[in-house]
Amino acid sequence: MTVAPAPPQTAAVHATAFVVLFAISFCHLLNDMMQALLSAIYPTLKAQLHLNYAQIGFVTLSCQATASLLQPAVGLIADKRPMPWSLPIGMIATLLGLVALSLASSYGMLIFAAMLIGSGSAVFHPESSRVARMASGGRHGLAQALFQVGGNTGQALGPLTAAIIVALYGQHSIAWYAALALIGFVVLWNVGRWYKHHGLARMDAHRAPHHAALPRKKIWQALTILLLLIFSKYFYLTSISSYYTFYLIHAFGLSVRQAQVHLFIFLAAVAAGTLAGGWLGDHFGRKYVIWLSILGALPFTLLLPHADLFWTTVLSMLIGFIMASAFPAIVVYAQELLPGNVGMIAGLFFGYSFGIAGLGAAALGVLADHTDIVFVYKVCAVLPAIGLMAFFLPNLSNRKRA
């Protein structure tokens, strides 16, 4: 008996829409590059506006708190009432924030610009994560990884482009980045059209199954464990992203430029680990990836403060690769725990990770001021041990392979 091929419409619904995934990954690159630009130009703003370190810290808090607190709310609203056009609108908020930042002549205007940039990010992350799931064709881990690796790349490019452009041409050159925001707006407008006409149907076709054996209490316990794992991951990673260059200069006498090269090597490993984590989660199960990606970094974090320069470079690459593989698996695992709340889960986890990174950077800075930077890495080395909590995560049934 011959089985008729699936209708073209059905095949399209179940195919992975790589064009859409690459589009939102590119926009994630632009969004996170523009957000990273804010912290990269702090020396310029500090000199031009005569700010102290406390004021600089509050600028970071204004941006991060806005992004962190609004994201779960945006995701929750989108789950109940999809908002295809919110993506380009969020990019407009970022554009306005960049223009305000380029013109800021007072501290109040600087705070306002930071909040606008944070608001654009708050809209972008949960809705783009929903689009990644729509476009996944059932390959949810790979889709989340492709989406997130764009953000990893943008975070690396922000300081690099700021060093080239803003350092040479000053604060007003920030307005040039508005052209990138306009490109992002055009791309996201087309993504919004796809979202409205195709994405919602795909979301219904690939709605995650309810894991009937899990009572509500078990689900919330699992979410609590996932948040603890996010705490471990981002508190440690912020020690690298914020203070790795200072550590290399202090411990090995490197120049600033040499230290930045090592930081980019680490960030490249993070990007590779993000992609690997999504693929491995789809093929071998997300719980195993979560378990290995947090706890598996522990031997290397313990060795790092005692290594020479060569092994510090190798160990930092291994740590970045292993720990970065966790986040796509964690987000998709949480979305499968609460399958009707894809946007809310994305907003919660992205917002929480932003908040932990901001608080972690501040706390570790205070610790470094009172001790030294090497001691910070010795303290942070034990954080991956929290990965033992992954043992208590429930086993979810494997999704049907794409």
Q: Is residue 55 part of a domain?
A: yes
Report pLDDT for 54.
66
The tokens describing 222, both together, are 């699992």
Q: Is residue 261 part of a domain?
A: yes
pTM: 0.71
Instruction: State the virtual CA torsion across 241, 274, 75, 10 in degrees, nearest 10.
Output: 160
How far is it, in rounded angstroms, from Cα 340 to Cα 209?
Answer: 10
How far is it, in rounded angstroms, from Cα 94 to Cα 396?
Answer: 38
Q: Is residue 4 part of a domain?
A: no
Q: Is residue 2 part of a domain?
A: no
Burial letters 236-248, b for 16+ CB under 10 A, else e:
bbbbbbbbbbbbb
Report pLDDT for 309.
92
Q: Which residue, of 173, 207, 241, is where some domain finishes?
A: 207
Q: Which residue, of 174, 207, 240, is where some domain finishes?
A: 207
Report pLDDT for 211.
47
Q: Which residue, of 158, 184, 207, is where some domain finishes?
A: 207
Q: Is residue 90 part of a domain?
A: yes
Same-domain pairing of 230 and 377:
yes
CATH number of domain containing 165: 1.20.1250.20
How far is it, in rounded angstroms, from Cα 335 to Cα 331?
Answer: 6
Same-domain pairing of 325 and 191:
no
Same-domain pairing of 195 and 221:
no
Same-domain pairing of 346 and 375:
yes
Q: How many structural domains are present in the chain?
A: 2
Domain carrying residue 132: 16-207
Rounded mean pLDDT for each run of 10 residues along the chain, 402 residues in total: 44 72 91 78 75 72 79 79 83 90 87 89 84 82 83 78 73 83 92 82 57 71 89 83 78 79 82 80 78 85 91 92 84 81 78 78 78 84 86 67 38
Task: Give CA angle at 272 (31, 397), nearest 5°.
Answer: 95
Instruction: State the virtual CA torsion across 72, 77, 78, 81 in degrees, nearest 10.
Output: 170
